């Protein structure tokens, strides 16, 4: 077995490496190349970069594509740029806009991994006769000796762990994928970048959603769905109009700041939070913090990397990328949907985010949050 778990000499093992032009995937590709693998670097052109930064005449490819190409040229392995603008628009950007239009708070990075990277690019890797595909994600893949099956585990580097964004990885995809950086901290990756002499070694980590380089996602949504900024009412839980909302895209469940309703406090002098976004009525409903408490969460379009018994499964669940996993019980409703019963209610659970289940460090899978309720209270608003 070679280091990628394939029973071949590295030089006979073809690995397609998805390269973004950043430090992580550059190190992944350069390392595998150093180990002697038949590395094929691929960078996806996902959107017109010149258009995204609003600069007329700028090249459609951004600096990242050039950086990835330069790394491959320096190291001497083949590299290709695939134009996935159409796939990305259909699978990710349109869905991003539609999700906001449904009053949700979407995570486009999960969609991108799920469709463009692990469906479309993976097919290309198969077509090129690759033995596996590697990415620079911080997540661990290991083969369980008992079951013989590949499993997903949280990365060693807790701050960099990307397991939340990869819950939709299917068993079939996982069998073909490799994540060489999952066992490293970012510092180790940077050390290797320097050791390998990669010109990207000091490049800062990307922060924003890639196709919204200036952070102004509202203008992107507005471009695709012009009604997204229709104004409407901000109401309290009794239906009293408290102010004006400036388009549902600007509001997220749990949000307190930027509501613009003078003082923003109710009679008990407690602040208002967004409890619900209702795009159909074009309303934003606000209430006190208690009104946000939810302990029953329904998730759909689920992907599971384990069997879930009828009697339910004790798990730890993450309902936001930044929150810590919390204890809960998971029940399967059908192949597509499941219910999560939280041990302790949480505040600000937003539809459109992911519910990702863990058994300690192991990723069991998850789904998209479509609904959250409170078992002890009648449905609020």
Partner 1 sequence: MSVYLDYNATALMRPEVRDLVIEIMEGVGNASSVHNFGRAARKYVEDAREQVATLCGSNAKQVIFTSGATESINTVLNEYKDKRVLISAIEHPAVLECATQAERIPVTKDGVIDMDTYKALLNEGEPPALVCIMLVNSETGVIQPIAEAAKLAHEKGALFFVDAVQGAGRIDISIDKLGADYMALSAHKMAGPQGIGALVTRKGVDAPKFMHGGGQEKNCRAGTHNTAGIAGMGLAAELALKNLPHYDTLTKMRDDMEAKLRQATNNLTIYGENAPRVGNTCNVGIEGVPAQTQLMALDLDGIAVSSGSACSSGSFKASHVLQAMGADEDQAKSALRISLGWNTTAADIEAFVESWTRMVKRTQK
Known catalytic residues are 112, 210
Window contacting partner 1 (CB under 8 A); options: 80-88, 131-139, 161-169, 186-194? 80-88
Q: How many Å apart are CA 318 and CA 357, to the nearest integer?
A: 7
Using alpha carbons, select from 209, 240, 178, 184 the residue that is nearest to residue 10.
Answer: 178
Specify the residue, 129 or 197, whose C-beta has the smaller distance to partner 1. 129
CA distance 114 to 279: 26
Q: Provide the β-strand partners of residue 284.
A: 234, 277
Helix (H, G, I), strand (E, B) or coil at 65: helix
What is the Cα–Cα distance from 98 to 100, expressed in whole angstroms?
5
Task: Tell whether residue 63 is a contact of partner 1 (CB under 8 A).
Answer: no
For 113-149, give one letter per residue: b (16+ CB within 10 A) or e: bbbbbbeebbebbeeeebbbbbbbbbbbbeeeeeeee
Candidates 59, 143, 241, 281; binder of partner 1 (CB under 8 A) is: 59
- Tell me: does residue 6 bind partner 1 (CB under 8 A): no
Could you tell me whether strands 338-347 and 293-304 are parallel, antiparallel, or unpaired per DSSP bridges? antiparallel
**β-bridge pairing 177-178 and 132-134:** parallel
Q: Is 75 in the site for partner 1 (CB under 8 A)?
A: no
Looking at the Cβ atoms of 118 and 138, the one nearer to partner 1 is: 118
224 CB contacts (<8 Å, ≥6 apart)? 93, 94, 97
Local structure of 105: helix, strand or coil: coil
19 closest CA partner among 161, 135, 126, 127: 135
Given the rule CB under 8 A, which of 78-86, 265-273, 281-289, 359-367 is the region that contacts partner 1? 78-86
End-to-end CA, the chain:
58
Q: In what order do the strands lie in the sheet with 14-18?
A: 79-83, 38-45, 14-18, 132-134, 177-178
- Residues in CB range of 171: below 8 A, 6 or more apart: 149, 150, 305
Applying CB under 8 A, which of residues 4, 58, 81, 224 lies at the interface with partner 1? 81
Residue span binding partner 1 (CB under 8 A) among the ranges 57-65, 110-118, 254-262, 275-283: 57-65
Instruction: Please tell me whether residue 78 binds partner 1 under the rule CB under 8 A.
Output: yes
The distance of closest approach from Cβ of residue 45 to partner 1 in the complex, given in angstroms and rounded to an integer, is 5
Of residues 150-209, those binding partner 1 (CB under 8 A): none
380 backbone dihedrals φ, ψ, rounded to 5°: -80, 135
Nearest-approach distance from CB 70 to partner 1, in angstroms: 12
What is the rounded distance in angstroms from the CA atom of residue 238 to the CA atom of residue 316?
35
Q: Across the strands, what pairs with 327?
A: 316
Does 129 help bind partner 1 (rule: CB under 8 A)? yes
Question: Given CA atoms 87, 90, 91, 92 in this order, what sign does their dihedral have?
Answer: positive
Which is closer to partner 1, CB of 84 or CB of 304? 84
Q: Which of 128, 143, 281, 377 binds partner 1 (CB under 8 A)?
A: 128
- For partner 1, give the closer residue by CB, 68 or 139: 68
Query: Smaller CB distance to partner 1: residue 7 or 127?
Result: 127
Could you say which of 1, 7, 56, 127 contacts partner 1 (CB under 8 A)?
A: 127
Q: Which is nearer to partner 1, 130 or 152 (CB)?
A: 130
Q: What's the closest the beta carbon of residue 92 comes to partner 1, in angstroms?
A: 18
Q: Which is nearer to partner 1, 126 or 195 (CB)?
A: 126
Q: Kindly state whether residue 309 participates in binding partner 1, applying the rule CB under 8 A.
A: no
Q: Is 40 in the site for partner 1 (CB under 8 A)?
A: yes
Q: Considering the rule CB under 8 A, would residue 18 count as an interface residue with partner 1?
A: no
124 binds partner 1 (CB under 8 A): yes
Provide the minimum distance between the beta carbon of 99 and partner 1 in the complex, in angstroms, as a whole number: 27
Q: Residue 40 or 350: which CB sits closer to partner 1?
A: 40
Instruction: Give the number of residues in contact with partner 1, rule: CB under 8 A.
Output: 18
Q: Which residues bind partner 1 (CB under 8 A)?
A: 14, 40, 45, 59-61, 65-66, 69, 78, 80-83, 124, 127-129
């Amino acid at each position: 077995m070679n280091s990628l778990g394939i029973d071949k000499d590295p030089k006979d093992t073809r690995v397609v490496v998805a390269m973004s032009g950043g430090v992580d995937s550059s190190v992944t590709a350069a390392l595998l190349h150093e180990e002697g693998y038949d590395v094929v670097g691929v960078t996806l052109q996902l959107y017109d970069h010149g258009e995204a930064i609003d600069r007329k005449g700028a090249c459609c490819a951004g600096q990242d594509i050039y950086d990835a190409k330069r790394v491959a040229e320096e190291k001497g392995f083949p590299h290709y740029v695939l134009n996935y603008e159409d796939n990305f628009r259909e699978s990710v950007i349109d869905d991003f806009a539609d999700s906001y239009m449904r009053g949700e708070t979407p995570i486009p990075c999960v969609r991108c991994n799920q469709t463009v990277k692990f469906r479309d690019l993976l097919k290309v890797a198969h077509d090129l006769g690759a033995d596996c595909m590697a990415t620079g994600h911080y997540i661990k893949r290991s083969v369980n000796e008992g079951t013989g099956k590949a499993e997903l585990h949280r990365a060693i580097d807790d701050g960099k762990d990307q397991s939340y964004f990869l819950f939709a990885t299917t068993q079939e995809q996982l069998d073909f994928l490799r994540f060489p950086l999952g066992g490293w901290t970012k510092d180790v990756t940077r050390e290797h970048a320097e050791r390998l002499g990669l010109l990207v070694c000091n490049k800062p980590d990307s922060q924003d959603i890639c196709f919204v380089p200036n952070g102004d996602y509202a203008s992107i949504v507005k471009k695709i769905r012009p009604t997204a900024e229709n104004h409407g009412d901000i109401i309290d839980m009794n239906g009293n109009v408290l102010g004006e909302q400036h388009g549902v895209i600007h509001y997220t469940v749990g949000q307190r700041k930027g509501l613009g309703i003078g003082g923003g406090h109710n009679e008990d002098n407690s602040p208002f939070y967004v409890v619900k976004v209702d795009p159909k009525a074009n309303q934003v409903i606000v209430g006190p913090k208690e009104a946000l408490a939810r302990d029953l969460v329904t998730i759909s379009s689920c992907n599971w990397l384990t069997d879930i018994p009828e009697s339910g499964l004790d798990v730890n669940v993450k309902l936001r990328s930044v929150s810590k996993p919390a204890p809960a019980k998971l029940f399967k409703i059908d192949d597509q949907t499941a219910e999560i019963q939280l041990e302790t209610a949480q505040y600000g659970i937003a539809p459109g985010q992911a519910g990702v289940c863990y058994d300690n460090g192991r990723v069991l899978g998850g789904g998209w949050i479509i609904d959250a309720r409170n078992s002890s209270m009648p449905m609020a608003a």
